[in-house]
Amino acid sequence: MTTQSAPSPQAQSRIESIDWLRGMVMILMLLDHARDFIHGGAFTGNPLDPATTTPALYLTRWVTHLCAPTFVFLAGMSARLQLLRGLCTRALSRYLVTRGLFLVAVELLVLGPMMPLEPGFEPLAFLQVIWVLGWSMVILGGLVHAPLWFVASFGALQVLLHNSLDWIEYGWPARTLDGALWALLHQPNGIELGHSDRFAVVMYPLMPWVGVMALGFVAGRLFALEPARRRRLLVAMGSAAVLAFLTLRWINSYGDPIPWSALGSTDSPQPWNATLSFFNVEKYPPSLLYLLITLGIALLVLAALEGRRFGRIQNVVLTLGRVPLFFYILQWPLLMAIGWGLRALNGPASSEGAGLGLPAVYLGWAAALIASYPLCAAFAALKRRKKAVWLSYL
């Protein structure tokens, strides 16, 4: 078994900037899911459509774009840190495979039944971010045995080139084996299960999410460097990603299936429509431009958090960032209860399923955050006290 000799002192403990960034995106994720449970237009409109949205609703949805790519990228980075702390490659591979399969089971058996779905839309399985995070870990468990240049190439080619495959499409739902495989690999789609009306919905196909985790694993090597140099490299990488986004988006020819329009809307153009259209990039699957802007911002924020202290608020965010899966699972019953309560307070018609406005979304978000923090803090304390293996899976 190959081991890392002389791990750096910083690598031997938790990296606060990573936990801080992970906690921030978990809080943003809670906002997105509060919108799913509470907002009146959650299933009847697209909050990112310049023709129908408002700037406030657009920003509420767009800022949560940062969550999934940052979380997947940091998962790869954290795997690399395990090697820097002295864990052998074989042990890391075994952990990634087993934890990845555990996450897949959590998605199917625990999270699926709690997902907020449009009335009348009841798939047998709804495969989202925890699903793809799990399978990405399983694949990374094999990649850790390869040279780092291979892992970097594997990730970069997926992220840079996967949009060249957008022309391959299957109708809804996929009824053939090749259509089902393509849904799992690249095109979000439904998969018909047998010769019945039951189907599974794949919202997070493997490409390019596996590539994002692989790039995070490569970037984890930065934490073996001296802090000042690491900050410079993080700023350079983040700035390059944002600049690449702006350039490619302006050219408007590759990197996203949704071209932007200078008018933004042909029906009733507003002054802000062109800007909203410019930044409206595809998440399902995440386009190259989507990943450039979100990961670019994440890298810049990570650099800004290096060595900074923000008082009590940082302790709250760090706590949530250290128990992400526990927080992710906890949010669903909390938001379900809070959403029902807010609708009940709003009247009989609302309690029967009609959603509420954006202020109620932010109120529900704050209530869920306040309710979840004590439980997350207690679980984080348990993980610090007890070093049981099963706790590392949550």
- The H or E element that residue 192 is part of is strand 189-192
pLDDT at 3: 37
Query: How many C-beta atoms lie closer than 10 Å to residue 105's C-beta?
Result: 12
pLDDT band, residue 140 (cuts 50/70/90): very high
Query: How many C-beta atoms lie closer than 10 Å to residue 354's C-beta?
Result: 12
pLDDT at 348: 54
Walk across the sheet containing 189-192 and list its strands.
125-127, 199-202, 189-192
Average pLDDT, the chain: 88
pLDDT band, residue 393 (cuts 50/70/90): confident
Between 11-20, 163-172, 306-315, the lowest mean confidence (pLDDT) is in 11-20
pLDDT at 270: 67
What is the pTM assigned to this prediction? 0.91
pLDDT at 123: 72
Q: Which spans in the chain are helix H?
A: 16-38, 55-62, 67-84, 89-106, 129-143, 148-161, 177-185, 206-219, 227-251, 273-279, 288-305, 312-322, 324-346, 348-351, 358-385
Over its C-alpha atoms, the chain yields an Rg (Å, rounded) of 21
Question: Tokens 């979304």 map to which residue?
Answer: 361
How do residues 228-265 score in pLDDT, each as one tens digit? 999 999 999 999 999 999 999 999 999 999 899 876 55
Alpha carbon distance 26, 72 (integer Å):
12
Q: Are strands 199-202 and 189-192 parallel, antiparallel or unpaired?
A: antiparallel
Query: For 279-308, what is the mean pLDDT?
Result: 95
Domain boundaries, the chain: 10-25+39-309
Closest CA to 251 of 242, 241, 259, 239: 259
Q: Are strands 199-202 and 125-127 parallel, antiparallel or unpaired?
A: parallel
How do residues 44-73 score in pLDDT, each as one tens digit? 678 988 888 889 999 999 999 999 999 999
Flag whether pLDDT at 141 surpasses 50: yes
Query: For 261-281, what is the mean pLDDT?
Result: 75
Query: How many C-beta atoms lie closer than 10 Å to residue 10's C-beta?
Result: 18
How do residues 350-362 score in pLDDT, each as one tens digit? 444 457 889 999 9
Query: How many C-beta atoms lie closer than 10 Å to residue 314's C-beta?
Result: 16
pLDDT at 353: 46
pLDDT band, residue 273 (cuts 50/70/90): confident
Tell me what percent of the residues of the chain surpass a pLDDT of 90: 66
Query: For 319-332, what is the mean pLDDT?
Result: 94
Flag whether pLDDT at 192 surpasses 70: yes
What is the distance, to the nearest Å, from the Cα of residue 34 to the centroid of all Cα atoms in its chain? 16
Closest CA to 207 of 171, 249, 254, 166: 166
Tokens representing residue 34 in the block: 């509060």
pLDDT at 14: 73
How do residues 145-159 score in pLDDT, each as one tens digit? 999 999 999 999 999
pLDDT band, residue 389 (cuts 50/70/90): confident
pLDDT at 2: 38
Q: Facing residues of 202 across strands?
A: 127, 189
